[in-house]
Amino acid sequence: MKKLSLLLILALTLVSCNDDDGENIDFGFAEITGEDLPEYFELTEEYEINVTYELPDACHTFYGFTGSNFEDEDDETIYVYEIVANTSYNPNETECEEEDTDLSETKTLDEDFKLPAAFSYETVRFKFLTGVSSSNEAEFMTVDVPVGAPDDEDEDEDEDEDSGDDTDDDSSDESSN
């Protein structure tokens, strides 16, 4: 009987000590609403990448970016970066000062983003988490950035078309004379 009493007292003591008035922290995500990516990547260059996101409410604070990177399953010429803007918040906090709070913020994802010298992919696909659908599927804003400067051939074709137009204009001018 003494052992049972001792166990009950010990259990009550543990339960009363477990009543923690400290702050609970949970994590969520912010909707990514914008990005600042270059027109194309060159292997030898470094890039600063900025991301704009909107916090769910004033109780949330930015925690950091997380993500993963992998080769696209359907196209081996595409390398994918999935990016999530994480938030932290206290779920017990119900009143947050939202009146003067701007929930949209821009942070630097990477100050010196650089592709490896041996990078063999033609496209870098960024997938920024924007939310979750009603069927609990992740929704992304997708941005494809080509690797390497635009082809000079495209510029040459544009110049040829421009010079061809000039020739046609000149010949029509001559025939009207």
* 112 falls within a domain: yes
Report the alpha-carbon distance of residue 89 to residue 100 in Å, rounded: 18
Q: One-letter amino acid identity for 89?
A: Y
Report the alpha-carbon distance of residue 91 to residue 25 in Å, rounded: 7
What's the confidence (pLDDT) of residue 21? 56
Q: Splitting the chain (177 residues) into consecutive groups of 10 residues, what average pLDDT does each group show?
A: 42 45 82 96 94 92 94 96 94 74 88 92 97 94 93 53 50 45
What's the confidence (pLDDT) of residue 100? 61
Q: Which of 23, 54, 49, 19 is nearest to 37 (CA)?
A: 49
pTM of the full predicted structure? Answer: 0.70
What's the confidence (pLDDT) of residue 160? 52
* 8 falls within a domain: no
Q: How many structural domains are present in the chain?
A: 1
Give residue 161's Cα distance to chain centre.
39
Give the Å distances, CA to CA, from 75 to 29, 78, 97, 105, 158. 29, 6, 47, 33, 29
What's the confidence (pLDDT) of residue 15? 43
What's the confidence (pLDDT) of residue 50? 96
What's the confidence (pLDDT) of residue 98? 63
* 163 falls within a domain: no
* 7 falls within a domain: no
Domain that holds residue 56: 24-146
What's the confidence (pLDDT) of residue 14? 43
* 1 falls within a domain: no
* 32 falls within a domain: yes
Give the Å distances, CA to CA, from 153 to 89, 128, 145, 160. 53, 32, 19, 10
* 11 falls within a domain: no
Pair 139, 128: CB distance under 8 Å:
no
* 37 falls within a domain: yes
